[in-house]
Structure 1
């Protein structure tokens, strides 16, 4: 039971740590690295991706050093790793589309999260941004997501070239 509590508390605590680091460190002294995330660029990777290495290394070290006894360090490392995994899928895959297998969601929470993140990226400078969290969303974005209809899903029809159309016309 202590393992579940430690992992859950670490996961939830990471949201506050991520918010704090994003607002006061990334939009502060480390803006020179984070700026790459706020401007369009043709690269698959950006300087901002280096922050993954920091949290990944912290998680790995906690897991490694806590592994022999499966003590609190191990479960804190698991909580950080779980947060990082959710962060990757929500932020990099869903919101920024860095992998194209999950494009749109009809889920109100995920749509509100996406709207809040778009508002964060509305500015390309280190100042005047809002919405620094990853999983916590201001209630106003929930209200907006409820008012704005969810995208409809339509299946793409295969492209028909002009020769196929001509052949169909001759057969009839």
Structure 2
């Protein structure tokens, strides 16, 4: 029965991470962290790594700490909070870096309506090359209008 609690903790954390991502993207990346995020909005940025990739290390740090604290003195709920964050991070990587920005040659020919909607919403986000006037700051949950056949 305790594993059901831990599974629920992981799933709820995963869902909450979308809100955390939205807020972080809007208020940190498009706020005081714009210096690191700016190159991500420049078309045709030629490098394998972007300054924007710095956020990966920053966001991974609390997750690593939660894994450590979740094993001390014995397995506890913090481990499963970290697991939810990790799973969200993996989903984010697969959707953002692989599917949307094609930084790796995986999932090139997807015909899935949901994945096409995610790509469309993110393309709208990248129409804005500067810091203000952004939209679609989420990653996995985007407005339904992007899933319609025609706009």
Q: Same fold (TM over 0.5)?
A: yes
CA-CA distance at 1:101 after TM superposition: 2.0
Query: Comparing 114-123 with 37-46, which one deviates more in the overlay?
Result: 37-46
Aligned to 1:155: none
Secondary structure at the aligned position of 1:67 is classed as coil
How far the C-alpha of 1:147 sits from its partner, in A, is 3.8
Partner of 2:143: 138
Q: Which residue of 1 aligns with 2:107?
A: 102
Contact 1:120 1:131 in 2 (8 A): yes
In structure 1, what is the equivalent of residue 30 of structure 2? Answer: 27
Larger Rg: 1
- Secondary structure at the counterpart of residue 27 of structure 1: helix
> Which residue does the alignment assign to 1:50?
54
Q: Provide TM-score, normalisation by structure 2.
A: 0.92
Bigger relative contact order, structure 1 or 2, given CA contacts below 8 A and separation 6+? Answer: 2
Q: Is contact 1:94-1:104 (8 Å) kept?
A: no
Map of 2:64 onto structure 1: 60
Q: Distance in 2 between matches of 1:59 and 1:140?
A: 33
Structure 1: gaps spanning 5 or more residues: 149-172
Q: Secondary structure at the match of 2:60?
A: helix
CA distance in 1, matches of 2:150, 2:125: 20
Aligned CA-pair RMSD = 1.2
3-state SS of the aligned residue for 1:43? Answer: coil
Equivalenced residue count is 146
